Structure 1
Amino acid sequence: MATQKKNNSQSLNAEEMLSRSETFIEKNKKAIIGVIAAVVLVIVAVVLYKNYYSGPREERAAVALYPAQEYFAAGDYEKAFYGDSTTYFGLAKVIGEYDGTKAANLAQAYAGLSLAHLGKFEEAVGYLEAYDGSDTYFASATRAALGNCRINLGDIEAGAKLLVDAAHKADAQSLSPVWLRQAGVAYEKLGQKDKALQCYTEIKDKYAGNPMVARDIDKYIEKVSE
């Protein structure tokens, strides 16, 4: 009997809770529908943005960047940055017109690297610092270029640190020993022979596979060991 009363009580409680829920929904129906509609609209907006605006815009940005990449690969840094005055009007235009796209971010790196090659170090710094990417090659190359710009602008210690950081980030036989040697030479200019020695020793220990750098590294080590 007690069990039956308990079951009846639980059944009544469940019915009461259901009734309250129905009453709440009925009273707040408009607000609930409004919230659901708002969530649906946000999802639809995101899908539309990706499919009909962001996606096509990314494609247009990539097409706009392509001539700069071609000129840069050919070593024509002037045209890569400034354009050819016919169909391609320069990296600054790509960055401004397609701000927020991956191609525009990549254009920051190309712009900074092009200006660094042209010896316009102060202008290059702004673009190199604006680039924000995780690609190993470009992230390390822009960091190394920024380091060389800093050195050429007189901030030798900051530049050397950036070069070492770029070398470690890339960890590549082709690039890392070049940047470490540049950093070592910079530290020598500062009279910091211990740091220069660290750079040169790292080349000898880790990057002996690069003959362009490794073949002379003993001379660099000997010079700072005196």
Structure 2
Amino acid sequence: MAVQQKKRPSTQFQVQDTVNKAEHYYRNNARIINIVGIVIILLIGGYFGYKYLYLAPREGKAQAMIFKAQQYFQKDSLRLALEGDGNNYGYLQVMQRYGGTKVGKLAALSAGICYVRLGEYQKGIDLLEKFHVEDRVMQPLAYGLLGDAYMELNKTGQGIAAYKKAGYYSDNDLIAPLYLMRAGLALEKAGKNKEAVAIYRQIKQKYPQSLQGHDIDKYLARAGDTE
């Protein structure tokens, strides 16, 4: 007697079975699925809304707000650039109101420059220690200003550390050798000539065409380089 073979379910039946399972899964998990979907939509919408409906207008307002401060800064009227003149805002107000914008970050760095140039070094340090941006020019300048302020307060170790951060942050041919040189000079001041020589050699190797690189042999000799 021949054994009857079981019939394989038809493709149509398999598809229907898959659909039924999917519907069953959805019914059992509908709340979670809907919540996840809504969250994704809100995140996407929130990002574009934040960027174009919130950040973009704020950048424009910040740009208008900082205009007079920039004029005062160019005229070397640092106190007015920093604090405003009663009718126009200074860097501090722009920074406080629009700190999350690019213009607000520029205002924070400019305020730090003003404090250091006015001789209010600790105020400059307090501000610049909090300054962090992913920018290959602004961030090393902030570190370099920190170095200047620390050196003015005779905090040589902290000055050296800040100069090194500025010099090693990026390979900018203007900024990097400038602050590496200052790090070397500060190391010499601290009596750490061997470390100063190592810094000067880096300038000679990586930035020979820079302003600092042209005279670097003189500093190497002064620091006691024997090679």
Q: TM-score, with normalisation over the residues of structure 2?
A: 0.79
- 2:58 maps to amino acid: R
Partner residue in 1 for 2:153:
153
Tell me whether 1:65 sits opposite 2:66 in the alignment: yes
Quote the Cα distance in structure 2 between the aligned partners of 1:170 and 1:73: 27
The within-5 A match list for 1:28-67 is: 36-37=37-38, 39-67=40-68
Quote the Cα distance in structure 2 between the aligned partners of 1:160 and 1:90: 31
Give 1:65 deviation, angstroms: 2.5
- 1:52 maps to amino acid: L
SS at match of 2:8: helix
Give 1:221 deviation, angstroms: 2.6
Partner residue in 1 for 2:82:
81
Give 1:208 deviation, angstroms: 4.1
Partner residue in 2 for 1:224:
223
Structure 2 gap ranges (5+):
none
8 Å CA contact 1:108–1:130 kept in 2: the answer is no
Quote the Cα distance in structure 2 between the aligned partners of 1:181 and 1:27: 68
Quote the Cα distance in structure 2 between the aligned partners of 1:54 and 1:166: 29
Please list the CA deviations of residues 66-124 of structure 1 after superposition, one character each: whole Å capped at 9, or x if unmatched: 3333433444332221223322x212211211132222222221111221121211111
Give 1:160 deviation, angstroms: 1.1
Identity of aligned residues (%): 27
8 Å CA contact 1:121–1:149 kept in 2: the answer is yes
Quote the Cα distance in structure 2 between the aligned partners of 1:165 and 1:101: 24
- 1:7 maps to amino acid: P
Distance change >3 Å, CA 135–CA 34, structure 1 → 2: closer
Distance change >3 Å, CA 76–CA 11, structure 1 → 2: same
Q: TM-score, with normalisation over the residues of structure 1?
A: 0.79
- Give RMSD over aligned pairs: 3.1
Give 1:31 deviation, angstroms: 6.8
Structure 1 gap ranges (5+):
none
- 2:111 maps to amino acid: A
Give 1:27 deviation, angstroms: 7.0
State how many pairs are aligned. Answer: 222
Give 1:45 deviation, angstroms: 3.9
Quote the Cα distance in structure 1 between the aligned partners of 2:39 and 2:213: 63
